[in-house]
Chains A and B, each alone.
Chain A
């Protein structure tokens, strides 16, 4: 399977496993990298986490020294903790060509869903990929929609209150 095919399969798998509604703006790619964001179903007012995947391509690796971040944009409807959220990888995958470097990283952005209406996580993901020849700093706009679930079936305050 090619690197690109593998990445797309991963994205499809993530979308299927989370039940996230697909939006063409939930992913982006270039010759050197690909990114995707997915959001699990969430109940109104509940807390959850958007999942971000950064994958490098074509001899590039993800630059883990770069302070990756997510800067929310006005298109989002969820509440995010800060105007700039610093992101640390929750998991990394080594590059096949050079296992000292990482060619895929997973990141999470915590949020709180609105009490009513659609949950949209939107913002700019900042990351960096490098090859032996050059580095790139990228700032990519992403938007992902979370399917709403009835109160009690999601995480966070709404679920907790339904158990009392």
Chain B
């Protein structure tokens, strides 16, 4: 067990160094190529964006201690959203950019949350925050959609109800922005809402 934990720490350190040299300092623009990354999941397995080329990818910025994340996963739009889209071939990945010592950091707390929320997809650990900054992730839950050509085609909130529960949609009608973007991609249409204001907790970056 200790050896596995040590291996995971070593692997994360290597990935952190890799991130330092490969990721841009400014956030990617919507419509431009999505920043590449390789991040470990909760079991230490490395996930590389480049390995997912040709697939539609959703990135969900995640923090298990954030009440907006909890609300969305237990009562709001994120209930069943990922599993529904993964059945159509979409790759859905959670990314946690909480720094050590900050809210939401740690393998076990994330593992417990994936069980509580019934998340059938990996949580990738971005403790350096390099990937979060590269994508312009400011809040949890914050969402990104990458098309089959590797372009970032959506960045923003999961929906237009900033209570996380879907009970206060702006304009009166709840819009699931991620589902909308995925539907547009499936239909070959331009994404109707390419960028929206992220809501929820701030991402707990190192700085």
Binding site for B on A (CB under 8 A): 65-67, 69, 84, 86, 126, 128, 130, 132-137
The answer to whether B68 touches A135, judged by C-beta atoms less than 8 angstroms apart, is: yes
The answer to whether A137 touches B68, judged by C-beta atoms less than 8 angstroms apart, is: yes
- Stretch of B36-44, B83-91, B157-165 on the interface side: B157-165
- A74 to B167: give the CA distance in the assembly, Å: 20
Q: Taking CB as reference atom, which chain B residue is nearest A133?
A: B103
* Shortest Cβ distance from residue A156 to the other chain B in the assembled complex, whole angstroms: 27
- A99 to B164: give the CA distance in the assembly, Å: 26
Instruction: Enumerate the 8 nearest inter-chain pairs by beta-carbon distance, A residue then B residue, closest first.
Output: A67-B168, A137-B67, A135-B201, A134-B103, A67-B163, A67-B162, A65-B199, A65-B162
- A86: which B residues are within 8 A, CB to CB? 168
Instruction: Tell yes or no: B66 within 8 A of A by CB.
Output: yes
> Given that A67-B168, A69-B168, A86-B168 are contacting pairs, would A134 and B163 also be in contact in the complex, using a CB cutoff of 8 Å?
no
Q: Taking CB as reference atom, which chain A residue is nearest B197?
A: A65
Most buried by A among B65, B102, B202: B202
* Shortest Cβ distance from residue A71 to the other chain B in the assembled complex, whole angstroms: 9
- B65: which A residues are within 8 A, CB to CB? 134
> Given that A133-B102, A134-B103 are contacting pairs, would A66 and B163 also be in contact in the complex, using a CB cutoff of 8 Å?
yes
Binding site for A on B (CB under 8 A): 65-68, 71, 102-103, 161-164, 167-168, 199-202, 204
- A134 to B201: give the CA distance in the assembly, Å: 7
- B204: which A residues are within 8 A, CB to CB? 133
How many A-B residue contacts, CB cutoff 8 Å?
38
- B162: which A residues are within 8 A, CB to CB? 65-67
- B102: which A residues are within 8 A, CB to CB? 133
Q: Taking CB as reference atom, which chain A residue is nearest B67?
A: A137
- A67 to B163: give the CA distance in the assembly, Å: 6
Q: Which of A84, A132, A135 contacts B67 (CB 8 A)?
A: A135
Q: Taking CB as reference atom, which chain A residue is nearest B71?
A: A137
Extra contacts, 16 of them, besides A132-B202, A135-B200, A135-B202 (Cβ < 8 A), are: A65-B162, A67-B162, A69-B163, A69-B168, A84-B167, A126-B163, A130-B201, A130-B202, A133-B102, A134-B66, A134-B103, A134-B201, A135-B66, A135-B67, A136-B67, A137-B71
The answer to whether B164 touches A137, judged by C-beta atoms less than 8 angstroms apart, is: yes
- A21 to B152: give the CA distance in the assembly, Å: 57
Most buried by A among B67, B164, B199, B204: B67
- A65: which B residues are within 8 A, CB to CB? 162, 199
- A69: which B residues are within 8 A, CB to CB? 163, 167-168
- A66 to B170: give the CA distance in the assembly, Å: 11
- A71 to B67: give the CA distance in the assembly, Å: 19
Q: Taking CB as reference atom, which chain B residue is nearest A134?
A: B103
